[in-house]
Chains A and B, each alone.
Chain A
Amino acid sequence: MYTYDEYDQKLVRERAAQFRGQVERRLSGELTENEFKPLRLQNGLYLQLHAYMLRIAIPYGVLSSTQMRKLAEVSRTYDRGYGHFTTRQNLQLNWPKLEDVPKILDELAEVEMHAIQTSGNCIRNITTDPLAGVARDELEDPRPFCEITRQWSTFHPEFAFLPRKFKIAFNASGDNDRAAMKYHDIGVKIVDRDGERGFEIWVGGGMGRTPVISKLIREFLPREHLISYLEAVLRVYNQLGRRDNIYKARIKILVNETGPDEFRRLVEAEWEDTKESSLRLDEAEIERMRGFFSAPDYESLPSSDELLGQIRSGDGALARWARNNVVVHKQPGYSAVTLSLKEPGTPPGDLSDSQMDTVADLADTYSFGEISVTHIQNLVFPHVKTSELESLHADLVALGLATPNIGRINDMICCPGLDFCNLANARSIPIAQEITERFEDIDYQDDLGELALKISGCINACGHHHVGHIGILGIDKRGVEHYQLMLGGSAGDDASIGKILGRSFPAEEIVEAVERVLKTYVDLRESPEEAFLQTFRRVGEDPFRDTLYGDVLYADHSKS
């Protein structure tokens, strides 16, 4: 993984000192709260319902065991003994005190971490595939380009006060996008054309209250122009993005209002003038970055595909876990393992300080000390010897992180909702918990197959409800929490936005409604292999609308 040199180290230390000064000037009254607010936001510090929330950056989701131990220590010392992994592959602390934040930043700086640009109207944490570097389907590891982009965007003097936040994601795995690239302000897809490696540039995707799938703005960008092209897009956005209405300020609105062709013309005109400037990336810099992400010291082992097949074909807990939570690896003899943070009884994405410590120890034992965070709010051990899966499984069971539900209905994304967030219309965590309990039967979850359920507590869509195969949105109906159900969304390369089929449901009926949708799917699927999204796309929304709102049941389940 990337390791800091003296410059990186100096930068995070200077940032911590700068923020300490800003807090002091705020406390002395030199800065008004209004002036302080964007400064603290650019450092990931929000004012939540009950307290401050600090969002710590985990660049493209990559963590070392040392960093994980520091996060454990910080959660224990300055918070209530847990942290929350987010859909931007970051970590949130929900209860830090303002006066402790400079100390937390100092501690983070010791392990090459920070909270820079995790919030505010600036370029946010760069995200990518949690399997980057180990996925069999990737063209190359995208993280060197993520790191180049991270450095370019960190304290970029021109783009620190954009109309609105700005998110960039990389995908190197073609159709198997695991980074929701098409829902980002800029999505960069690594592609080959005529034997040359370069990028597709997608612009103007996003969730929020107006979900939009991004548009292909450039079909092929040679590698050396990555930064100059990003800079051209950002400059057009900085100058022309709307600042009069916060809900229309994202770049997706600008691209829609100008139209993709005119937007492309503006960007290309800007880029024409800068592409041969000092922003051009030289091959040596790309190679230097690649050096940081070279493979760990793998043992040379024979292929373990057969062994993994054998483990999976058993009928115990290990076999099921190996089927659902383990994927094949580039390197013969190794596998990548997902640790489920969707344990019944804990909010999705939460991890306690002691779990963090043990995860760090296990990463050292099994995965070269490397951990990655997924945007579905789980953790991955990217380099586990297939022959050690059984032993790792036993250790994870003891830790409560071996729930075999990855890609299943209970592997949901859920935002903090009304329990923490002052923008929320409704609670989301309790609904997630009720769903987890209702569908706890893992045989039933496996029978349902691949299913992405996503819950947001308001239209800001932090829980990505628009792109859930099943999405749930909390709304406020005359002072009572209600939930809108939407079906058919997808965050993948086949991106689609979920459809609302009818009226919303009160809290006590929403889980029942989900159950009806599931029954309808099971009745209508052509075979157990046809996943929910495929069935929905094949049969359309009508049968689902009928079951939800027409009291029609397509089969009598008491007889089956």
Chain B
Amino acid sequence: MATCFMQIIRNRKIVDDDFVTVPNDAALPESGNIFVSLERWRSERDRLSARSGKLGVILQNTVDPREIADDLATFDAIAVHFPIYRDGRAFSVARILRQRLGYEREIRAVGNVLRDQILFMERCGFDAYQVADGKSIESALGGFEDLTVTYQDAIDARSVPRQR
């Protein structure tokens, strides 16, 4: 059997994913890096903090990240879910995490993550991307290069008005 490492994009490079996502009804693995849902984090906080391995939490795009501001330091990564690529709420969630709450570790886009939104995701604070099933990850990488001119500051302050 071929390897079953999932690949993701991290900082504009294709890498093997070093996290696994643990469904709510599955047992927690002893070790290794995991993503769990926010609900699971809330109900099993102690057990999750005691494990070895990195911990990531998955946020639905309806969550106001300010509600978990006090817990952010415990998370090695935060995934924000795109139920469908044209639901833009996750863009605001990422920006609030990065800019308002000063979260500096990985923010990962998961769900219906497609090439044509990936640049906007990056500008809102995402730095890792789990490209949607069935879509070419190499092609998605091209999305970062499509537009190089940015008219407004987002998490980056490299907009055109300040270069003029």
Contacts and interface: CB of A to CB of B under 8 A. Distances in A.
Contact of A14 (B64, B86, B117, B149): B149
Contacts of B151: 11, 151-152, 154-156
Contacts of A288: 164
Contacts of A273: 100
B95 A15 contact: no
Interface string A156-188: 111111100000000000000000000000000
B16 interface: no
A116 B91 CA distance: 20
Interface in A211-269: 227, 235, 238-239, 243
B147 interface: yes
A38 B121 CA distance: 16
A385 B45 CA distance: 76
A158 B95 contact: yes
Interface residues of B, number: 37
| A interface bracket (residues with beta carbon within 8 Å of B) | 35 or more
Most chain B C-beta atoms within 10 Å of own C-beta, residue among A10, A160, A279? A160
Contacts of A154: 151-152
A30 interface: yes
A285 interface: yes
Contacts of B124: 157-158
A121 interface: yes
Given A152-B151, A273-B100, A157 B120 contact: yes
B119 A239 contact: no
Interface stretch (B7-15, B17-25, B30-38, B155-163): B155-163
B147 A155 contact: yes
A35 interface: yes
B149 A157 contact: no
A18 B147 CA distance: 8
B86 A7 contact: no
Contacts of B157: 278
A39 interface: yes
A157 B161 contact: no
Contacts of B146: 14, 17-18, 21
Contact of A157 (B148, B154, B162, B163): B154
Contacts of A7: 149, 160, 163-164
B114 A157 contact: no
Interface string B81-120: 0000111110110010000100000000000001011011
A278 B92 contact: no
Contacts of A121: 86, 88
B74 interface: no
Given A10-B149, A39-B116, A158 B154 contact: yes
Interface of B: 64, 85-89, 91-92, 95, 100, 114, 116-117, 119-124, 136, 139, 142, 146-154, 157, 160-164
Give 10 nearest A-B pairs by CB, closest first. A161-B88, A157-B123, A157-B120, A11-B149, A151-B151, A18-B146, A158-B91, A7-B160, A152-B152, A278-B153
